[in-house]
């Protein structure tokens, strides 16, 4: 609490989001920037790659790896003596970039700041294009360093070396229990059972869940929306429990809207009109 008073009185909170720019398909930075900024905190960015679209379903996408640019950016930032109160990493294009994120956390996270890792690697039981087991192992290492990790069900299974439930329903409690060996505060999204979908999260060793009704199908960018809202709410001083609850409301509302409004789910979620009620909930929760 002392920490938040110092931050809020002294200067505006800064969040650094390390993620790719996918020009089309609303995910990663094109979601994180509007959502985190709308929460009322500064969102600085470190783009990891520039893609014509995300890799989840479009054929022939372009991919420009920005790893080579990062050392010069960091050198300049060092000269500015800048620190970040929250560092949130998402899609990383290579094992080398995972090493870089670890270095950024060690050099640029403000004292008492929080490091949040969304280990973006896959969905539907499979790894995305471009990722393999070596990447998973390296991501698992990064997750051990984070204050919070936000895997979806697929990523949680890879991290915990747990079988992905293709047909059967998932024991979210058993999965999160295994993940506690990787990180003390895992928050697992998209855990589906028959007609329900849940977020499971651990707090002080106790596992909790928030359940919503299930909309069938894959919704690209849903994990990014959840993670961005979670980080934005944390940066506004919410507890992790409240941030999970607010992020779940926003994501569920955006998915429900998109199930009706977006015929081709590769183009991402129509989350924009759901930001207003989300921010109202965030501000009301302040009283």
**Is there binding between residue 20 and ligand PXL (CB under 6 A)?**
yes
Shortest CB 117 distance to ligand PXL, Å: 14
Q: Is 223 in the site for ligand PXL (CB under 6 A)?
A: yes
Alpha helices in the chain, H assignment, sequence order: 2-10, 28-38, 70-80, 95-108, 133-144, 153-160, 172-179, 222-235, 240-261, 275-284
What SS3 state is found at 109?
Answer: strand
State in angstroms the smallest separation of the CB of 66 from ligand PXL. Answer: 12
Instruction: Give 91 or 201: the residue with its C-beta nearer to ligand PXL.
Output: 91
Is residue 137 a contact partner of residue 160, using CB atoms and an 8 Å limit? Answer: no
Q: Which is nearer to ligand PXL, 38 or 220 (CB)?
A: 220
Measured CA to CA, the distance from residue 127 to residue 157 in angstroms comes to 11
Binding to ligand PXL by residue 226, rule CB under 6 A?
no
Positions in 156-185 near ligand PXL (CB under 6 A): none
**267 three-state secondary structure:** helix
**Residue 21 near residue 224 (C-beta atoms within 8 A):** no
Closest CA to 26 of 278, 261, 286, 283: 261
Task: Identify the residue among 113, 172, 190, 221 touching ligand PXL (CB under 6 A).
Answer: 221
28 binds ligand PXL (CB under 6 A): yes
Cβ within 8 Å of residue 31, ≥6 positions away:
221, 224, 225, 228, 268, 269, 271
**Segment interacting with ligand PXL, rule: CB under 6 A, options 64-72, 140-148, 206-214, 221-229:** 221-229
According to DSSP, residue 214 is labeled P
Give the nearer residue to ligand PXL in terms of CB position, either 21 or 244: 21
Q: Is 26 in the site for ligand PXL (CB under 6 A)?
A: no
Stretch that binds ligand PXL, among 20-28, 77-85, 160-168, 270-278 (CB under 6 A): 20-28
Residues between 83 and 122 that touch ligand PXL (CB under 6 A): 91, 120
Closest CA to 248 of 268, 272, 274: 274
Binding site for ligand PXL (CB under 6 A): 20, 22, 27-28, 51, 54-56, 91, 120, 128, 220-221, 223-224
């Amino acid at each position: 609490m002392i920490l938040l008073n110092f931050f809020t009185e002294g200067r505006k909170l800064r969040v650094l989001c390390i993620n790719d720019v996918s020009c089309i398909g609303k995910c990663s930075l094109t979601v994180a920037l509007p959502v985190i900024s709308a929460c009322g905190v500064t969102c600085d960015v470190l783009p990891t790659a520039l893609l014509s679209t995300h890799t989840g379903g479009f054929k022939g996408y372009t991919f420009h790896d920005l790893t080579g640019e990062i050392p010069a950016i960091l050198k300049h930032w060092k000269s500015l003596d800048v620190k970040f109160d929250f560092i949130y990493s998402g899609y990383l294009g290579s094992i080398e970039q995972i090493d870089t994120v670890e270095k950024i956390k060690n050099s640029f996270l403000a004292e008492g700041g929080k490091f949040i890792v969304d280990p973006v690697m896959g969905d539907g039981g499979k790894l995305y294009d471009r990722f393999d087991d070596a990447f998973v192992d390296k991501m698992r290492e990064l997750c051990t360093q984070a204050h919070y990790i936000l895997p979806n069900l697929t990523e949680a299974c890879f991290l915990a070396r747990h079988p992905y439930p293709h047909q059967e329903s998932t024991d979210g409690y058993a999965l999160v229990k295994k993940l506690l060996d990787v990180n003390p505060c895992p928050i697992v999204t998209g855990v589906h059972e028959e007609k329900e979908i849940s977020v499971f999260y651990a707090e002080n060793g106790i596992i909790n869940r928030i359940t919503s009704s299930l909309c069938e199908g894959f919704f690209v960018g849903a994990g990014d929306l959840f993670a961005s809202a979670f980080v934005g709410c944390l940066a506004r001083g919410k507890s992790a429990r409240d941030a999970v609850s607010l992020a779940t409301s926003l994501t569920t509302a955006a998915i429900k809207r998109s199930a009706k409004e977006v015929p081709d789910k590769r183009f991402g979620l129509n989350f924009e009109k759901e930001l207003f009620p989300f921010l109202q909930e965030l501000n009301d929760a302040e009283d």
